[in-house]
Structures are given as C-alpha cells and as structure tokens.
Amino acid sequence: MTERQKDFAALGTLLALLILFFAKILFTDKIIRAPDITTEFYWTVKHFKEMGFVDLFTVNLRAGWDMLANGGGTEGGGTLSMQFLFYRNLIFWLFPAPANVAWFIVFHLFVGGAGTYVYCRAIGAGRGAALLGGIIFALAPENASLINAGHVQKIATISFAPWAFYFFERGFQARRVIWFLATGFVLAFQFFNMHWQIAFYTCLGIGAYGLLRSVVILFRERDRRGRSAVRLVGLNLVTMFFFLSTVAISLIPLADWSKETTRGVQSGANQGQGGLQVEEAMSWSLPPEELVTFVVPGFFGLSRQEGAYDSPDNGAYYWGRMAFTQTTDYFGLLPWLLAPLPLIFRRDRYTWLAVAAVAGGLLFSFGKYTPFYWFLYEHFPGVNHFRVPKMMMFIPVFGMAILAARGLDLLLDPEIRARRGFSRYLLGIFSLAPLLLAALGASVLGRNFWIDLFSPQIAQPNRFEDGLQLVMQRWHTIEKELSFAALFAVAYAVVIGAFSRQWLSRMALALILAALFLADVGRVNAKFLLLQDPPQSVKGVATPVIDYLSRQPKGYRVLPMDGSDPMQYVSHGIPVMFTSAPVQVQRWQDFLDGFNFASAMPDMMNVRYLVYGAAQYQQERSSISPKFQPVFTSPDGTQVVLENKEVLPKGWLVSQALLLSDPRQTLGILPNPAFSPGRVALVEEPPVVPLAPPSNPVAPPAGNVTIATYEWNRIAGEADTPGNALLVLGEKFYKGWRATVDGSPVEVRRVDYILRGIYLSPGRHRFEFVFDPLPFKVGKYLTLASFALFAAMLGREWRRRRTVGA
C-alpha cells in the first residue's frame, strides 16, 4: 500500500468505528431526544426528503423574508450560504428520517476526527498515534455529549476547526499562499454552518496560533528575520482577508442585521456599549472546581436532558455552579495519562502549541472566575456578544488529542522507555489509582463528615429536583464515579506497565489502550444518547386545528396559547406570531415584553387566531379579552380556536399621525387599550405629507387598501385615498425593504415602533414592497469573487504539481 492508501485506510477505520459506536442513534426509526432537535432543527431539514436530486444542488442567492415564523423576519440573507453545503443536503436526502439527523452529527464528528488525524500526521505523528488523536477528538464526551443537548449546528461547526489548523500549519511549513488561502476558505465554510460563536472562537484560536507560530519561526530564523517577518505578516493577512471576503455573503448581512438585535451595538446592553449584559455574557462559565470532572466525569452529576428522561442508574442530575448543563466536561482518562510524555521528552513547538490550546482554552472557559476573561470581555471586540465561555472547550479537546497522539508515539519508542525520566512517568501513572481509591475510601468511611462539610452546595435544588434525597443521590453518584475512575486508572496502569516490561507487543498495546478508551468514554457517552418516538407534528400529521387554520386567509397569524410547538403550524404554511430564537431584533423583543392582549397589539400584528387547550380555555376564559371569540373546536374536544374580531387587515390607511421622537414613548403607548392604530399612526420622523393631528376630534376619511400580492419577498396592491394618508402594513419594519408608488421609489418608514409604512398623496395608487437588502448583494459578489479566485489558485496548484510530477 502507498502512504496515501494507508492514510485512507486509517480514516476508513475511524469512520467504521464511529458508525459502530453510534449505531444506537444511526440505525433506528426514533429521533434523538433533545428539544433543540425535535422542536427546532428537524423542522429546518425535513423538507429535503421531498426534494428532487437535482434540487439538492440548486443555489438561489436572493435574500429572503420569512413571512411565516416569528411574526415575519430575516437575517438579511446571511444564512443563505448554507446552500453551499451540498453534502448537508445530500445527507438529509439520502438517509432515512429521522435518523438522518444522527447521520449528519456522526458525519461531522468523523470530519473533526479526520481533521485531527491529518494535523497530527502533518506535525510528524505516527499513523496509529494520529488515529488515536482523531478518535479522541471525535469521541471525547465534551464534544460527543453535545448530541444530548441537540446542538447539531455546533457539532457541525466544531468539525471544521481541526482542518483550519491543519491547513494553517501546512502553510507555515511550506510558506506558500495556497495553504493560507485554504485556511481562510475552511474558516468561511465553518462560518457557513451558522454557529457563529464556535466560528468566532476558532478564529481566535487561529489568530493565537498564527502569532505564536510566527514568533517561533522568527526566533529560529535570526539571520533573515526581516525578510521572514514581512512574508509571515503578509501570509497571515492573506488568511484574514481571504476569510473575510469568502465569508462576506454571510458576514456583511449578519453584521448589518445584528446591529438591531438584542446583542447588537444598539441594544443598550453592556452599559450602552452593545453586546450582552454582564450577567448573561458570563453565564455558563466553567467553575474551577469542575476540573475534577476531567478524571471523575460524574462528580457533579451527569446531565439527563431536561430532567429524568432516562433511568435512575445514570445517577444524579448536574448540580454544579453553572445554571445547568446538558453535557459533560470529560475527555476520557487516556489523554491525560499520555499528555505528560511530550511534556517530559518532546518539548518542541508543537507540544507547546498544544499546551497553549489546552491552557488557553481552559482559562477562557473559566469565564467570570478569572481576570483574563473579564479583560477580554471589556476590551476585545466580539467577546461580549456571546454567552457560555465554556463553549471554547473544543479547543482544549483538540490540544489534548495532539498531546495524546504525540504521547503514544513516545510510549512506543524504546529509546524513550529506556530513559530515566520514563520511570518517573510510570510512577505518576501508578500513583493515580491509589489516590482515587483513597478518595473513594474516604468518601465511604467519612460519608457523614463530608456531607455535613459540603451540605450548603450538595443540598442545593436544581431545575427539576429538590428535597433531602438529593444529598444521598449525589453522594452515591460521586462514589460510583470514583469507583469507575479508579477502575480505569488501574487498567491503564497495568497495561502501560506491562508494555514497559515488554509483556505486550506494540500492536497489543495500541488495541488494548483503544479498547479501554472506548469503554471509558462509551460508558459516559451512553448517558447522553437518548431516543424517543418522533412527535406526530414532526411526522407532518395535520391536526384538525391545522386543517381548519390552513383554509383561512394566509395573511393572518396564529398564536398558540396551549404550549404547542408553533413550528408545526409553520411547516403547514400557517404564519405564527412568535417562535423562540436566541437572538431577537431588539424592537421586536421590546414589543413582546410589553405585549397586552387587551390592547391593539395583536390586532396590528394581524393575529387573528389563538389556539387554546379546551381545559385551559375554560379556566382562563373570564380573563380573555371579549374580542377573542371561539370559532372552532377540535372533534376530540381538546383544542379551541379563538378568532380576533378586531384584527386589522394586512394593509390599512390612516390620516392622523402623532410624532414621537423618543421611541420609548411609542412603546409606552402601544399596550394601552385606548390606542387605536387603525385611526392614528405613531411615527418617529415628521411626516413627508401633511396629516391631521390626533387631537382632531373627527378623523378625515383615510380610504381603502387592496392587497393583490402577498409573497415572501414581495407585497403589492392598490390604495385609494381622498386625502394625504399613511399606508401601514401589519409587517415588521426592516431596512432591507424597498418600496415604489406608481413605479417611483419612496422611502419605507417605521410606524408604531415595529411596523412599516409609506406616505401617499390623494388619489389611486399602485404600491409595491420588495425585499432586496444591499448588504447581502455586496457580500454575495465578494464571496463569488473569492470562490473564483480560490478555484483559479487550485487549478494553478494542480498544474504545478503535474509539472513537478512529470
């Protein structure tokens, strides 16, 4: 076999191992039990099964407005880059639903493991050691347990990080532009997977790697430092600018959109500096005491997704100092046992880079518990826009995988085993098991003492449980996890010790260590691989209520009040007023925070129908505004649909306007039941045509509006008004909308805090609203130009290699 064939064989082994390891979630007709999957992610991909094969590779690069979800909205076209991920479409089309979600996840774990493998090979690791590094990255519970939380896009985004470091390292080794362009290209495709926090953290890691790697090169090349410095700076800049141009189709519209969001510079959070408020930004910081979970994974409990879904033998639910967690910090015990070897015997640049990844990633993950993160939060651009500092932990996993791979190479080297330092290493390996056994003995014999000592924390209730039984449940979990940690520590010590005495062959050592690692992380990961039957709504079954609402005019919105998933309505083409999102447009969030059913707020948002559970409706009907009247009850009597008899049409005309320069004044008026948006418009800029003031006791007649076209990116119709008027749509304002009246462009104005409108003069007019945001168009052409450049550079590289090969 050629060297390349051997590498492909190693990667094939990795893929086969992952398929066997995750067979439970791959070969099933069930779906992963995670709300983020069953109520969100699966809705976004279920349509792939209905597409034709050619359609999977069709790209439509036009920014869109979602008229169905969350009262209408957009991200400015920033998510359209996902269309470039053709393999994604193919996976969801090729594999049976709902297991295709699991196949998508496992595929990306393989991609991340493969990237770790090729990086380890690039820095000189043996093939078997590199394979171990890939296995560690793919199966470390810190990464794999994200399945339990349903963080599909997070896993997909993480998987690109090792490849970015691989291409970057090859660039520093070869000092050729193509590798740095490839790094920027991979970073862009990582961003296209739409978990922007992981992409941002990867860029931070790449920036640190580039800085440290450049410093090392300049230190070693003292005789030509000036010329090397210029070239290295230029190559690093190539990476940065090519990444920015390639990702422009997403980055430019998203940056423009984010300014208006709850995390944007205009949100008012972070004491008026933009970003998240301190408390939210610092949430999910890794408490330093949880370092113990790197050896004893269940010390602070093991998350059971959203509480008690699995069997009691999984132990206690997480009870540490974070708000909650659905994952675990564990990497497996083996990486920590192998990591000291390169620190003792191979303290070169790659060892120190891996150590920097582990130490720097951990320091960042500690978040609010260290001055380091506070400094970054206050001074480094972008850090204050994200919460969950612990999300950086994929970088330490990558660093530990590299150290473990290098450690295995050193363990297999007879010259290393003959050195005096190796005996000290063995002493450390052999001491871990007695320490864990001593801790276990102390926990059993001194149980009452330790429980009394730590009772303030160990007795704290969590989101789902309280009561005195938690103390013993948690303590028994600690003892059980200490037992398993001691067991694996003994097993690893025996195997490594036997190999050092030449009682095991190299092949036997590698196979036994791999088997122990798989058993170790498999035991932990199994607690995070939960399944359930696909919800009926996910299967696409139309309920009687959905059938009824589907027959109603499409311009009106539904608001489920019974706790049901709004996305089941969206999947049947029924607009809903609200769907949850981690980031909202700030004005929309303000509107939701002050929402009052008794006011005209639901009327102006075209909320025509409320869906109640029958029992809930009977209990709350006395407090429901009389404008909501029952019009449909499901045949089984479990659901009731109420119709809003005062809902406003999709478009209406007003002839009176109240100028309020402070938007907070507008926000204060909207919840007032006396306010009538069908009669008076609240505007923030002086009207461009004279309108009557609201003090006028008799409102001039406004006229009529007819909506002829109501589509995703276009709303058109006619308006007939006897006097000056403001045409208001029951649609959110967004600066990407353009409008024309009788073919001439007019400016779209913000009305009633969140709606959009245009001014009209007397007469009959044709109007049209078209969604066509400029930032997306600029980003699109930059990205397409970058694609063309990269394709040309790849062609040039291919011709060069053919010439050299000839």
* pLDDT at site 697: 66
Q: Where are the domains of the chain?
A: 3-72+83-531, 544-644, 651-772
pLDDT tens, position by position, 39-63 = 778 878 888 988 999 999 999 999 9
What are the two backbone dihedrals, phi and then psi, of residue 707, each rounded to the nearest 5 degrees?
-95, 115
What are the two backbone dihedrals, phi and then psi, of residue 175, each rounded to the nearest 5 degrees?
55, 40
CB distance 73 to 732 below 8 Å: yes
CB distance 137 to 159 below 8 Å: no
Q: How far apart are CA 70 and CA 93, in angstroms?
A: 27
CB distance 559 to 643 below 8 Å: no
Q: Residue 603: beta bridge partners? A: none
Q: Which of 166, 159, 134 has the alpha carbon at shortest distance from 14?
A: 134
Number of Cβ within 10 Å of residue 136's Cβ equals 27
* Average pLDDT for runs of 10 along the chain of length 806: 93 97 96 85 85 92 93 93 94 94 97 98 97 98 92 96 98 96 97 94 97 92 82 95 97 91 61 67 92 94 62 77 87 97 96 97 95 91 89 97 98 94 94 95 91 84 80 91 96 96 92 96 92 70 90 92 88 91 89 96 98 95 95 96 97 95 94 95 94 76 92 96 96 96 97 97 97 96 97 93 73
CB distance 357 to 133 below 8 Å: no
* pLDDT at site 271: 46
Q: Which two tokens stand for residue 541?
A: 């079954």
Element (H, E) at 707: strand 704-710
Fill in the DSSP letter of residue 305.
T
Q: How far apart are CA 665 and CA 668, in angstroms?
A: 5
Supply the pTM of this predicted model: 0.91
pLDDT tens, position by position, 657-681 = 999 989 999 999 999 999 999 999 9
Q: How far apart are CA 290 and CA 545, in angstroms?
A: 48
Q: How far apart are CA 170 and CA 123, in angstroms?
A: 9
Give the burial class of 564: count Cβ atoms within 10 A of its Cβ; 0-12 exposed, 13-18 middle, 19 or more buried: middle
Report cis status (omega within 30 of 0) of the bond before 98: yes
Q: Residue 514: beta bridge partners? A: none
Which positions ≥6 away from 451 have C-beta within 8 Å? 458, 471, 475
Q: How far apart are CA 208 and CA 205, in angstroms?
A: 5
Residue 1's SS3 state is coil
Q: How far apart are CA 444 and CA 659, in angstroms?
A: 72
Written as one letter, the residue type at 367 is G
One DSSP character per residue, 27-67 reads SSSSEE--HHIIIIIHHHHGGGGGS-TGGGG--------BS
Q: Which of 786, 796, 783 has the alpha carbon at shortest distance from 178?
A: 796
CB distance 193 to 156 below 8 Å: yes
Q: Residue 705: beta bridge partners? A: 719
Bin 703: left if φ > 0, else alpha if -120 < ψ < 50, else beta.
left
Rounding to the nearest 10 degrees, give the CA dihedral for residues 782, 785, 790, 796.
-150
pLDDT tens, position by position, 162-173 = 999 999 999 999
Q: Which two tokens stand for residue 351?
A: 């060892």
> How far, rounded to the nearest angstrom, does the alpha carbon of residue 709 sit from its chain's CA centroid?
35
What are the two backbone dihedrals, phi and then psi, of residue 681, each rounded to the nearest 5 degrees?
-105, 140
* pLDDT at site 291: 96
Number of Cβ within 10 Å of residue 516's Cβ equals 18
What are the two backbone dihedrals, phi and then psi, of residue 390, each rounded to the nearest 5 degrees?
-60, -15
Written as one letter, the residue type at 141 is P
Unique residue bearing structure tokens 């939210």? 280
Residue 559's SS3 state is strand
CB distance 291 to 439 below 8 Å: no
Q: How far apart are CA 746 and CA 739, in angstroms?
A: 6
